[in-house]
Amino acid sequence: MLRIARVVLFAAIPAELLVMVLLVSGVSLPGVVVAAVETAVVLIVVLEATVVYRLFRAERQGGADRRAALRATVHRLVPVQVRKIIDFELKGLVSLALWVVRRRDGVPPGATAVPYSGGQSSTLLVLLFLMAVETVGVDVLLRALDVPDGVRALVLVVDLYGIVVGLALGAACVTRPHVVADEELRIRYGAYFDLRVPRHLIASVRLSRGYNETGMVAVADGRLSVAVSSQTNVVVELTEPITVVRPLGRRAEATTIRFFADSPDTALTALRAPSITVPA
């Protein structure tokens, strides 16, 4: 039943959105079609509620408290990829707020922040400018074609949301830098990637510039690359493999880490400095 609930839920959402777009755009749908869609939605809600209740009850009977049972229920019903995407969106919006008030996330007192956003800032600014121009141009074109106001409004919302996502990406990269703390090296890419490497696992660090990295976060043959504009410039060798959780939840092992820093010398100096164990 859990598998059926997942399939039905993610098939019903785009179907319902399609019907909404058609109705808002002024398309006259037969009453029987609208009634059938709404009946299907009600049945789907009943199915999902039944599955949620059964999962929640099973967790409670297993000894979990209400909050833990609810969390476990959501994790079982909603695929990890969907949860990750929602988490990205929420963290991106939080990063926008942090950027406005000029604060950073996850940089404790005494730690060294290692920015990396400078390597992509010009590209991101150009992209945001083009997205703004595209938003205005599409709206003008839709007006000229006498497209219904409902459709124009929906397209405008989607375009504006795309601009917000772009701003959130830039803000997340600024407010969530790499961090070298006493106990760990924290390697991040905006809201999409976050890896904590214990300092005692670091065997060596060195400067090594790479300009042909593929993808934002890639793991191959035990090597993790966290690139900015296809570039990396700091290499960290580990004494033993560490588990890497990719942006959409896939796991891999890595013993070599390559990442980009705006000022690699700052990262190298902080990583080569002896760590001090703080008494508990």
* Residue among 90, 246, 247 nearest 165 (CA): 90
Q: Is the dihedral of CA 208, 214, 218, 223 positive or negative?
A: negative
Strands 112-114 and 232-245: unpaired
Question: Alpha-carbon distance 101 to 171, whole Å?
Answer: 11
Question: Alpha-carbon distance 12 to 41, whole Å?
Answer: 7
Helices 31-61 and 66-77 pack at an angle, to 10 degrees, of: 130
Q: What letter does residue 145 receive in the DSSP assignment?
A: T
- Give CA angle at 264 (262, 265), nearest 5°: 130
Ranges assigned E (strand) in 156-231 = 178-180, 184-189, 193-198, 202-210, 217-220, 223-226
Confidence bin at 31 (pLDDT 50/70/90): low
- Name the residue ranges covered by the structural domains of the chain: 2-78, 100-175, 183-272
Q: What would the two tokens of residue 142 be?
A: 């839709």
How far separated are the first and last CA of the chain, in Å rounded?
48
Q: What would the two tokens of residue 86 be?
A: 């929602």
For the chain, give the mean pLDDT.
86
Q: Over the stretch 70-118, which tens digit does the pLDDT of each residue have?
A: 888 877 877 788 788 889 999 999 999 999 999 999 999 999 999 999 9
CB count in 10 Å sphere of residue 250: 11
Q: What would the two tokens of residue 77 be?
A: 């019903």
Question: Alpha-carbon distance 162 to 132, whole Å?
Answer: 9
AA letter at 153: A
Question: Alpha-carbon distance 68 to 60, whole Å?
Answer: 9
Q: Over the stretch 185-234, which tens digit does the pLDDT of each residue have?
A: 999 999 999 999 999 999 999 999 999 888 899 999 999 999 999 999 99
pLDDT attached to residue 98: 96
pLDDT attached to residue 280: 40
Q: Over the stretch 238-250, which tens digit does the pLDDT of each residue have?
A: 999 999 999 988 9
pLDDT attached to residue 117: 94
* Residue among 168, 170, 186, 190 nearest 178 (CA): 186
CB count in 10 Å sphere of residue 195: 22
